Amino acid sequence: MTTEQISKTEKITGARIFLECLREEGVDKIFGYPGGVILHIYDELYKCDFIKHYLVRHEQAAVHAAEGYARLTGKPGVVLVTSGPGACNTITGIANAYYDSYPLVVFTGQVDSNLIGNDAFQESDIVGITRTCCKHNYLVKNIKDLPRIIKESFHIARTGKPGPVVVSMPKDILTAKAEFVYPDKVILPGYNPTYEGHPMQCKKALKLLCEAQRPVIISGGGVIHSDAYKEIRELAKKLNIPTATTLMGIGTYPQDDELSLGMLGMHGNYWANLAVSNCDVLFAVGTRFNDRITGCLKRFCKDAQVIHVDIDPCSISKNVHVDIPIVGDAKNVLNVMLKEYNTEKYSYNTEMRKAWINQILSWKEKRAIRAVENAEMSPQTVIEHIYQQTKDLNPIIATEVGQHQMWTAQLYKFNQPRQLVTSGGLGTMGFGFPAAMGAQIAAPDRLVFNIAGDGSIQMNIQELMTCVDYKIPVKIAVINNGYLGMVRQWQEKLFNKHYSQTPISSPDYVKLAEAYGILGLRVTKESQIDDALKQAINYDGPVIIDFVVEPFEMVYPWVLAGKPLSEVIMSNTNENAAGD
């Protein structure tokens, strides 16, 4: 299929219409895996010169790769899989994208329309299965509806609160023929996201922030999705307000800035948690107040007035009572507040604000996170070395899920948005490596590091072959402690050190790399770390580094589930640092 446009009166197959719709949406990269009922699309792809298809080795990896691509570009990632098991294998990725608001359009095949409901070969009710874990889904019933459905899918995925949309395409729809007419606009009367915050609510919020003695800003993932990081930085600076981020909001506020509190929550910075616990006004932007950042809800900001900005009205007052709700796009709301501040006479008590910042600094000085001493090689030390070796290279850092993820969030200083690619809401092991591939495809000239655990990397390690095939030079740092570390940590603290099914063995990663035809390195001493990292960075291709680390390290600070943020465990010997 050439780039020549088709005649408006020419009848073409649904498979060809599918690709023409992608052309109209500006899609030039998709991630997928073929199968019987979508072979007609793959036959058209064989002749297509405007879309590059990346063949993964598992459908879950296709979705995660599309998520990584979406994280870097802000555009919907596109996935194409077959029916039945192919569609079912996407579920974890779809749910992950739903919780973390990654815009995706996932196209799945389906059996012939007349076979749906008959338990046909490779039939699964993907519409029913995904109903609770996607933003919207479609079953195409008429070929004439296919262009409209695809246009609506991309519109829904990227507007409002972004998220995944699933389109199930029966085989007979793909073989039927019709004239191709792509709609000029989307008409969805029941779907009208609110982008402009109410002006009076914005004024009330600004007035309250200026009157506050101990204000704190929480910057969430929604700030990244709306590209509002410049605005939130400007507002924090103008009002001199300490700013914390959620895990998904990391990078929205520079972590080396004097007002930065870093990440808050279960494994967040001690001083960030105490600042939020002791603030009198909390300004939360683009966060849904996940339990990982609130701890005990009854004691979360119990003495504070809460301002909440979110484009999703369902997120406001869902978990935390809100005094000033503002439904709207974060960028628009913050711009209204900045304009109001710049044009009207607003002021705040500089002495009280200074005293509040000094109080936070005193907490920070007492409880700074430090790498472990007297260990042959601690995982924290490895991550600190990765930071030192890559910080000036404008890297993208992806993570899997577990202890290494929290150490990365704590120790790597992220100063730009879309620099961290990680799984927050669902906590998906196996996410990081394929997501790093997608990020590398989106940004081919940037260094991409995937920091992984020895448990999670094995969940999608087959994608090494995808990296080889497409020359995707992702660097993988395996923090190899011989355990499912985060679960082992819970067992040590909460289950009397009953390490039930958490010791995990690994392959010889150097030999594995050799089998795949890539570079493999092993590091067992701190003195070897920098040389290995430099070798990996300078190598023109994928690399896997096996960092054999101290097995029994714990992630601190740590707020146990259900406890308030002020009750922070700082170490094995210091049970609770509350009240410092």
Beta strands 260-263 and 281-285 are unpaired
Residue 175 burial (C-beta neighbours within 10 Å; 0-12, 13-18, 19+): middle
User: Which of 25, 59, 67, 123 does the annotation list as catalytic?
Assistant: 59
User: Which of 248, 263, 266, 486 does the annotation list as catalytic?
Assistant: 486
Instruction: Single out the residue of 76, 60, 90, 53 nearest to residue 469, CA to CA.
Output: 53
- pLDDT level of residue 6 (50, 70, 90 thresholds): low
User: Which of 171, 331, 364, 475 does the annotation list as catalytic?
Assistant: 171
d(C-alpha 216, C-alpha 212), whole Å: 9
Which residues lie closer than 8 Å to 176 by C-beta, 6 or more apart?
Answer: 13, 14, 143
Mean pLDDT to the nearest integer, 126-154: 98
Residue 375: per-residue pLDDT: 63
- pLDDT level of residue 35 (50, 70, 90 thresholds): very high
Instruction: Single out the residue of 457, 475, 464, 471 nearest to residue 389, CA to CA.
Output: 475
Which residues lie closer than 8 Å to 150 by C-beta, 6 or more apart?
Answer: 18, 21, 22, 25, 105, 167
Residue 104: per-residue pLDDT: 98
Are 289 and 264 within 8 A, CB to CB?
no
Is the pLDDT at 521 greater than 70, yes or no?
Answer: yes
**Residue 491 among the catalytic residues:** no
**Residue 59 among the catalytic residues:** yes
Which residues lie closer than 8 Å to 162 by C-beta, 6 or more apart?
Answer: 70, 101, 102, 103, 135, 225
Is the pLDDT at 36 greater than 80, yes or no?
Answer: yes
In the CATH hierarchy, which top-level class contains the domain 11-179? alpha beta
CATH of 379-548, one of 2.130.10.10, 3.40.50.970, 3.30.1330.10, 3.90.226.10: 3.40.50.970
Q: What share of the chain is helix, strand, coil (3-state, %, to 5)?
A: 40, 15, 40
d(C-alpha 523, C-alpha 271), whole Å: 34
**Residue 44 among the catalytic residues:** no
Q: What is the pLDDT of residues 462-513, one digit of tens each?
A: 999 999 999 999 999 999 999 999 999 999 999 999 999 999 999 999 999 9
Q: What is the pTM of this model?
A: 0.95
Is the pLDDT at 578 greater than 90, yes or no?
Answer: no
The answer, yes or no, to whether the previous bond of 313 is cis (omega within 30 of 0) is no
Is the pLDDT at 295 greater than 90, yes or no?
Answer: yes
- pLDDT level of residue 3 (50, 70, 90 thresholds): very low
Residue 7: per-residue pLDDT: 63
d(C-alpha 458, C-alpha 452), whole Å: 9
CATH number of 199-366: 3.40.50.1220
CA end-to-end distance (rounded Å), the chain: 68
**Residue 11 among the catalytic residues:** no
Tokens of 554: 């714990």
Residue 446: per-residue pLDDT: 98
Tell me the domain boundaries of the chain: 11-179, 199-366, 379-548
Domains 11-179 and 199-366 share a fold: yes
Instruction: Single out the residue of 267, 178, 287, 272 nearest to residue 225, CA to CA.
Output: 287
Residue 580: per-residue pLDDT: 52
User: Which of 122, 359, 462, 528 does the annotation list as catalytic?
Assistant: 122
Of the CA atoms within 13 Å of residue 465, those in its CB half-sphere come to: 8
Are 406 and 267 within 8 A, CB to CB?
yes
User: Which of 47, 52, 121, 352 does the annotation list as catalytic?
Assistant: 121
Is the pLDDT at 372 greater than 60, yes or no?
Answer: no
**Residue 449 among the catalytic residues:** no
